[in-house]
A and B are shown apart, each in its own frame.
Chain A
């Protein structure tokens, strides 16, 4: 059901609900109980129509969010790669520090 059709149905339901509430407000109306049952029935119908529309919208947002999730996943992997590059630079610098230290100590012993 398109939004405009749904809205037209909802409008009818709401108008009848309002009429029922007004009639129910009459102090000695003979069919108060029946009116209230009809009101509850229409209220449930209205809720279902609204809920189905909202659920459709939320499902749509959920489905799009999955696409963004995949972008985030790829970007996170790239962030991990950058960390690995930084770690490699650290490791190389540490290795050179150690090599220089060893070479220095070796030279000391030789001299």
Chain B
């Protein structure tokens, strides 16, 4: 008859290993609520990284439209052509600047990407297969030994694998926590700086102390229409109304982007506080729950190996 190390004994062994970690004071694990905050921040910054460039590209198109309207009522062909060329040049310059803004903001995406990676279970799941193989191999050898020598040594491959898996997971998760903590602490003042800078950039377009770029484009369009545009065919009026709607949308977008930048900054501060703060009872309970999860995962592995062994 095959004897297997009992479940209670396994729990005791795994908990003993975990307790050793606790006693040495090195158990600071990523909890579920911390992972949730990381995911929240990650999603926000991923979307946000494209906002400044989008505003600038819209501005570039708007500049070209306004040069085209001026060209359509120029005094001569030479001036009209010059205005079109100027419009294209201006659009190109602004698009290039928008791309620079986009590239600079892409770092927010890389940052959220690395936080995502560091909080994932890719590192711990990688060890699963080899530890499982090791446990099964051990059980198979014990079974063979028992058959050959007619002895009845208890199968302990699953238990050993569970301990190895549990210990390795705790060790890796502890390292993950330390890596995220350092990254978030180092990034926090930079995130504040970059979001402030993005807000200042957006305020160049609209808002208090702005250069009222969008309003000026609108005023130019309005004056041109009132002086010359209204005399042109109906299609011109339709075209102007479309441009007015576009300006309205960009103004709304600038406003939303500014609010999003503030949220992004706040989300990061919350994230840092959550990761950085001293443990209270709730956090301790959460860490214990995380440890229990690890024990459960180790137990699943043990059961899996034992099923294969029987």
Contacts and interface: CB of A to CB of B under 8 A. Distances in A.
Interface of A: 3-4, 6-7, 10, 14, 17-18, 21-22, 24-25, 32-33, 36-37, 39-40, 43-44, 46-47, 49-51, 53-55, 57-58, 60-62, 64-65, 67-69, 71-72, 74-76, 78-79, 81-83, 85-87, 89-91, 93-94, 96-97, 100-101, 103-104, 107-108, 111
Which residue, of A43, A55, A61, A78, has the highest number of chain B Cβ atoms within 10 A? A61
A89 B130 contact: yes
8 contacts: A21-B224, A36-B75, A39-B70, A49-B211, A61-B105, A68-B111, A85-B172, A87-B126
- Chain A at the B interface: mostly helix, strand, loop or mixed? helix
Interface of B: 52, 56, 63, 70, 74-76, 79, 82-83, 86, 90, 93-94, 97, 100-101, 103-105, 107-108, 110-111, 114-115, 117-118, 123-124, 126-127, 129-131, 133-134, 137-138, 140-141, 144-145, 148-149, 164, 168, 171-172, 175-176, 179-180, 182-183, 186-187, 190-191, 193-194, 197-198, 200-201, 204, 209-213, 216, 219-220, 223-224, 226-228
A89 B131 contact: yes
B137 A85 contact: no
A33 B76 contact: yes
A60 B201 CA distance: 9
Given A10-B211, A24-B227, A58-B201, A86 B74 contact: no
Nearest to B210: A7
B107 A65 contact: yes
A69 B201 CA distance: 20
B205 to A, nearest CB: 9
Given A61-B104, A71-B190, A100 B141 contact: yes
A49 B204 CA distance: 12
A74 B75 contact: no
A21 B69 CA distance: 12
A83 B63 CA distance: 50
A102 to B, nearest CB: 10
A64 B201 contact: no
B189 to A, nearest CB: 9
A76 B114 contact: yes
Contacts, number: 201
A42 B100 CA distance: 27
A81 to B, nearest CB: 8
Contact of B193 (A37, A43, A64): A64
Please provide the 7 A-B residue pairs with the shortest distance between their CB atoms, ordered closest to farther.
A25-B227, A78-B179, A57-B201, A93-B130, A90-B130, A104-B141, A93-B134
Contacts of A57: 197, 200-201, 204
A53 B172 CA distance: 48
Contact of B197 (A40, A44, A64, A81): A64
A79 B223 contact: no
Contact of A108 (B110, B144, B220): B144
A72 B115 CA distance: 9
Contact of A82 (B101, B134, B175): B175
B211 A14 contact: no
B211 A3 contact: yes
B137 to A, nearest CB: 4
Given A17-B220, A79-B118, A86-B123, A74 B186 contact: yes
A85 B123 contact: yes
A108 B130 CA distance: 24
